[in-house]
Amino acid sequence: MTFSHLSRLALLAPAFAILAADPALEVPLGLLPIQFPKSNPYSPEKRELGRLLYYDKRLSADGTVACATCHAPENAFTDNKPVSSGIKGQTGGRSAPTVFNRAYSLAQFWDGRAKSLEEQAGGPMQNSIEMGNTHEVVVKTLKGIPGYVARFKQVFGSEDFGIDEITKAIATYERTVLSGNSPYDRYKAGNKKAMSESQIRGFDVYFNKAKCDQCHEGVNLTTNAYHNLGVGTDKANPDEGRMAVTKNPADWGAFKTPTLREIARTAPYMHDGSLATLEDVVEYYDKGGNPNKNLDERMKPLKLTAQEKKDLVEFMKALSGEGWQAKLVAPTVFPK
């Protein structure tokens, strides 16, 4: 997280509350305390409600797709596909980003069209390709399940809940999906044996020669900014990326910089899933991307040696961490 991003959160302090101590939650080494909006304060009961909703396929039009379908814990909260599949096997044009550490990002989606996790949580439900439902039907479905009605009353104080309460619960759960305490974090904390010799050399390549931290820096290894890397710009109908949201031509082909946390577990890579391996990603950056009318000025040939490329990949493997494997388990029983 950049200083500027932290400053933005600080400016929003009246709207946010830092999570109080909770025995059910623990922030792994290397991360900052989670901040929850004051408009959506944390409670263990709300997190559990959100967890149930996140995995419940009844939120989709045909009962076949849940949030966890494309953001599955066993796949490091992605689906490990180039592009995701929704109801009736329909596919979109973008790869499902991981849910890890979304608490440290304000805008969501590859193009940043959602201003918060709450807004993001409601998007797939009414996307015709993803869950194919409407907010009205989702609310009606859940109100027809007594077990959910009781939980919403417990969490929000009323049985008359709507889509706002549903998305607040899901967002609360998503904010607790954390990854930290990686070999990289332990190395930074003083354990010089936490990373291998190759990873330590890759650390040097990352920060000094390749300067990956120009975009992938801070506690979550991303500036949360948007850049045109040239990915997909050589296709017949390139994805407009951020420009579709801002209508600013300068944002054509630009996509949000993702976290590198758990990057070794979240293949394939880039917004369109076009790069299958970390080796492919390094080769892509090494050549300086694909030339196009809006290529980011920092995309230039890196001229890495074969050993430097190998070491850089090994360093990225050191970004796989802990905090999610044991306690973020999918429910086996849902409200009835």
Query: Which of the residues are catalytic?
Result: 130
Q: What is the C-alpha separation between 4 and 106, in angstroms, rounded?
A: 13
Query: Residue 92 burial (CB < 10 Å; 0-12/13-18/19+)?
Result: middle
Q: What is the C-alpha separation between 293 and 128, in angstroms, rounded?
A: 32
Q: Tokens 């590198």 identify what position?
A: 260
**Nearest CA-CA partner of 185 in 27, 30, 26, 28:** 30
* Three-class SS state of 156: helix
| CA-atom Rg of the chain in angstroms | 20
* Three-class SS state of 255: strand
Q: What is the C-alpha separation between 49 and 281, in angstroms, rounded?
A: 38
User: Around Cβ 139, how many Cβ atoms within 10 Å?
Assistant: 17
Per-residue buried b or exposed e for 280-298, using 16+ beta carbons within 10 Å of the residue's own CB: ebbebbbebbbebebbbee
DSSP state of 269: B
* Three-class SS state of 36: strand
